[in-house]
Structure 1
Amino acid sequence: MSQPLPNQIQLRRDRPVCRRMLLLLFVLLAGFSLVTWRLAVVQIKESARLMELAARKYQRHIVLPAHRGAIKDLSGEYLAHDEDVRELYTDRTHLREVITVRHRLAAIRGVKAVDLRAELGDADTLAAYHEHLAKVLSGILPQTEEEIRSQLASDKPEIVLAKLVDVETAAQWSDLFKKQHVFGIYLRPTVARRFPAQDRLSLVLGDTDTSNKGRWGIEKLMDAKLTGVAGEQLIERDKSGHELPSYRSQVVEPQHGSDAHLTIDMQLQDNVEAICERAWKASKARRVVIVVTEPSTGTVLAMAARPHRDLSNPDVSTWTNHAIAEPYEPGSIFKVVTLAAGLDNKKITPGEKIDCGNRYYEDPVRKVKLSDDESLGMQTVKGVLVHSSNIGMYKISKRVGQDMMLDYATRFGFGAPTGIGLVGEKAGYLNTGKWSNTTYSRMPIGYEVSVTPLQMCMAYGAIANGGVLMKPRLIDRIVKPNGETEVMPPQPVWQVCSAKTAASLRDFLEGVVLEGTGKRAALPDVRIGGKTGTTRRYDPEKKRYIEGSYLTSFVGMAPIDNPKLVCLVMLDDPKAESSAMVRGGRVAAPIFAEVVQETLDHLAIRNERPVKVADKGGEP
Structure 2
Amino acid sequence: MRIHDVSSPRSTARVRVGFCFMVALLLVVGCRVVVIQGFDPESYASKAADRRTQVSALASERGAIVDRNGTVLAQSTVRYDIVGTPKVNSTTETFRRVDGSGSVRTVTRDQGLQDLAGLLDLPESDVRGLLTGDGLFTYLAKAVDPGLERAVMELGIPGVESRPVKKRAYPQGPVAGSIVGFTNDEGGAAGLELTLDDRLKGRDGERTYQTGADGIIIPTAPLEVVPATNGQSVKLTIDTDLQYAAQQALETQAGKLSADWANVIVVEAKTGKIRAMAETNSVDPNDPGATAPEDRGARSVQAAIEPGSTEKAITAAAAIEEGIVSPDSQLVIPPGYTVNGQYFKDSFDHGTEKRTFAGVIGSSMNTGTVMVGQDLSRQQRYDYLRRFGIGSRTGVPLPGESSGLLAAPDQWDGRQEFAVLFGQGVAQTPLQTTMAFQAIANGGVLLKPRLIEAYVDPDGTEHPVEQEPGTRAVSEDTARQTRDILESVVTAGGAKDIKVPGYRVGGKTGTAEAIAESGRGLDGYTASFVGMAPMDDPQYVVMVNVQRPAGNIYGISTAPVFNNIMARVLSTFGVAPSRTASVSLAQKF
TM class by shorter-chain length?
0.7 to 0.9
Partner of residue 436, structure 2: 459
Q: CA offsets per residue over residues 379-437 of structure 1, 9 Å max, x none?
A: 11111111111111010111113111100000000111111121010011112133222
* Alignment partner of 1:551 out of 508, 526, 543: 526
* Alignment partner of 1:40 out of 34, 55, 69: 34
Cα pair 1:520 1:589 within 8 Å, conserved: yes
* Alignment partner of 1:295 out of 229, 252, 269: 269
Taking structure 1 as the reference length, what is the TM-score of the superposition?
Answer: 0.78
Cα pair 2:312 2:422 within 8 Å, conserved: yes
Cα pair 1:233 1:251 within 8 Å, conserved: yes
Paired residues for 1:127-526 under 5 Å:
133=135, 137=138, 165-167=142-144, 186-212=161-187, 214-309=188-283, 311-313=287-289, 318=294, 319-357=296-334, 360-363=335-338, 365-375=340-350, 377-432=353-408, 433-526=410-503
Q: Supply the distance in 2 between the matched residues of 1:80 and 1:296 (Cα, whole angstroms).
A: 28
| AA of the residue aligned to 1:238 | G
Q: CA offsets per residue over residues 172-204 of structure 1, 9 Å max, x none?
A: 9x99xx9xxx97574323433222232211111
Cα pair 2:90 2:132 within 8 Å, conserved: no
Q: Return closer, same or farther for 1:351/1:184 CA change in 2, 3 Å cut-off.
A: same
Partner of residue 610, structure 1: none
Cα pair 2:183 2:190 within 8 Å, conserved: yes
Q: Supply the distance in 2 between the matched residues of 1:81 and 1:541 (Cα, whole angstroms).
A: 37
Structure 1 stretch displaced more, 66-75 or 24-33:
24-33
Q: CA offsets per residue over residues 551-576 of structure 1, 9 Å max, x none?
A: 10000101111111100000001124
Displacement, 1:76? Answer: 1.1
Cα pair 2:271 2:447 within 8 Å, conserved: yes
Residue 220 of structure 2 aligns to a residue whose secondary structure is helix
| AA of the residue aligned to 1:592 | F
Structure 1 stretch displaced more, 10-19 or 61-70:
10-19
CA RMSD of aligned residues (A): 3.5
Q: Supply the distance in 1 between the matched residues of 2:306 and 2:494 (Cα, whole angstroms).
A: 19
Q: Supply the distance in 2 between the matched residues of 1:81 and 1:540 (Cα, whole angstroms).
A: 35
Cα pair 2:281 2:291 within 8 Å, conserved: no
Q: Supply the distance in 1 between the matched residues of 2:403 and 2:508 (Cα, whole angstroms).
A: 22
Cα pair 1:287 1:571 within 8 Å, conserved: yes
Residue 166 of structure 1 aligns to a residue whose secondary structure is strand
Cα pair 2:510 2:529 within 8 Å, conserved: yes
Residue 226 of structure 2 aligns to a residue whose secondary structure is coil
Displacement, 1:301? Answer: 0.3
| AA of the residue aligned to 1:243 | I
| AA of the residue aligned to 2:173 | Q
Q: Return closer, same or farther for 1:337/1:373 CA change in 2, 3 Å cut-off.
A: same
Displacement, 1:600? Answer: 1.1
Paired residues for 1:555-566 under 5 Å:
555-566=530-541
Q: Return closer, same or farther for 1:245/1:314 CA change in 2, 3 Å cut-off.
A: farther
Q: Supply the distance in 2 between the matched residues of 1:231 and 1:428 (Cα, whole angstroms).
A: 44
| AA of the residue aligned to 1:133 | G
Q: CA offsets per residue over residues 258-317 of structure 1, 9 Å max, x none?
A: 221101121222222221222222222100100001010100000100122363429996
Displacement, 1:53? Answer: 3.1
Q: Supply the distance in 2 between the matched residues of 1:422 and 1:506 (Cα, whole angstroms).
A: 30
Cα pair 1:368 1:441 within 8 Å, conserved: no
Cα pair 2:302 2:400 within 8 Å, conserved: yes
Residue 282 of structure 2 aligns to a residue whose secondary structure is coil
Displacement, 1:324? Answer: 0.5
Displacement, 1:532? Answer: 0.7
| AA of the residue aligned to 1:262 | L
Q: Return closer, same or farther for 1:383/1:605 CA change in 2, 3 Å cut-off.
A: closer
Residue 282 of structure 1 aligns to a residue whose secondary structure is helix
Q: CA offsets per residue over residues 145-170 of structure 1, 9 Å max, x none?
A: xxxxxxxxxxxxxxxxx9xx522799
Partner of residue 63, structure 1: 57
Partner of residue 593, structure 1: 563
Q: CA offsets per residue over residues 345-385 of structure 1, 9 Å max, x none?
A: 1011222111222xx31416423232242537111111111
Taking structure 2 as the reference length, what is the TM-score of the superposition?
Answer: 0.81
| AA of the residue aligned to 2:440 | I
| AA of the residue aligned to 1:33 | L
Structure 2 stretches lacking a partner, 5+ long: 95-108, 111-130, 577-589
Q: CA offsets per residue over residues 204-253 of structure 1, 9 Å max, x none?
A: 112233133x3322223323322323323311123443322322333222
| AA of the residue aligned to 2:278 | A
Structure 1 stretches lacking a partner, 5+ long: 1-9, 109-128, 142-161, 607-620
| AA of the residue aligned to 1:475 | I
Q: Return closer, same or farther for 1:364/1:503 CA change in 2, 3 Å cut-off.
A: closer
Structure 1 stretch displaced more, 46-55 or 283-292:
46-55
Q: Return closer, same or farther for 1:13/1:458 CA change in 2, 3 Å cut-off.
A: closer
Q: Supply the distance in 1 between the matched residues of 2:225 and 2:42 (Cα, whole angstroms).
A: 23
Partner of residue 582, structure 2: none
Q: Supply the distance in 1 between the matched residues of 2:65 and 2:426 (Cα, whole angstroms).
A: 36
Q: Supply the distance in 2 between the matched residues of 1:539 and 1:225 (Cα, whole angstroms).
A: 37
| AA of the residue aligned to 1:194 | A
Displacement, 1:18? Answer: 6.3
Cα pair 2:455 2:462 within 8 Å, conserved: yes
Q: Return closer, same or farther for 1:366/1:87 CA change in 2, 3 Å cut-off.
A: farther
Partner of residue 580, structure 2: none
Cα pair 2:507 2:531 within 8 Å, conserved: yes
Cα pair 2:529 2:544 within 8 Å, conserved: yes
Cα pair 2:344 2:366 within 8 Å, conserved: no
Q: Supply the distance in 1 between the matched residues of 2:89 and 2:347 (Cα, whole angstroms).
A: 90
Structure 1 stretch displaced more, 52-61 or 402-411:
52-61
Paired residues for 1:21-32 under 5 Å:
25-32=19-26
The structure with the greater share of residues assigned to helix is: 1
Q: Return closer, same or farther for 1:423/1:542 CA change in 2, 3 Å cut-off.
A: closer
